[in-house]
Chains A and B, each alone.
Chain A
């Protein structure tokens, strides 16, 4: 089975609302997790990452939460804007950070309604 997966394939939110995108992983040995945003026709764009020795990390309008007990990762986007519309992927480092090969989930498409 997949090492990393996403619960919801699509998410639609109203502009200004907060968005929460979820991700599950299965490899307990993974110690690094990363969120990417991919707009149509473009490459994945780094949003935020987190190491397994942390539970929470905040960036500009984004927060990543890591629950190692249930192997769950989430990305929170505050005050979602139309420009946030994209597919969001979580990814994990399967080898504990040694070479950095990323295993990606399927992606969640976020649509922001004006």
Chain B
């Protein structure tokens, strides 16, 4: 069964450093998303991406964040200068063009020290 994959599973970085979180959505899916989940809290929407551009972003997704689909399979989230409060699980999700259900990857745990 096709699934969303994410790498790395755990990323530790120092405050102020740049990180890139990587995702491979389900092939032939058209919509891509990033969400985050701070430990013990609910999942929060960050950004949606369709047709090679951002279609929606939340207030969390400020100028320090960017997304890219560099090729036909990868979808990345970059945080330019990490802050302590960026520590969270980051989930990538994708959905097809026909259904609304989103399929989530296993997540990347980002720890900013």
Which residues in B have their C-beta under 8 angstroms from that of A105? 42
Closest Cβ–Cβ distance, residue B102 to chain A (whole Å)? 6
How many angstroms between the C-alpha atoms of A43 and B80 in the bound complex?
A: 24
Nearest B residue to A93 via CB reads B100
Which residues of A are interface residues toward B (Cβ below 8 A)?
A: 32, 34, 36, 42-46, 49, 51, 89, 91, 93, 95, 97, 99-107
Which residues in B have their C-beta under 8 angstroms from that of A93? 100
Which residues in B have their C-beta under 8 angstroms from that of A104? 35, 42-45
Known: A34-B100, A46-B103. A99 touches B43 (CB 8 A): no
Pick the 8 closest A-B CB pairs, nearest first: A43-B104, A104-B43, A44-B104, A104-B42, A106-B42, A43-B106, A43-B107, A99-B56
Closest Cβ–Cβ distance, residue A100 to chain B (whole Å)? 6
26 A-B pairs with CB atoms under 8 Å apart are A42-B106, A43-B4, A43-B107, A46-B102, A46-B103, A46-B104, A51-B100, A93-B100, A97-B100, A99-B48, A99-B55, A99-B56, A100-B33, A100-B48, A100-B95, A100-B100, A101-B33, A101-B56, A101-B58, A102-B35, A103-B45, A104-B35, A104-B42, A104-B43, A105-B42, A106-B41
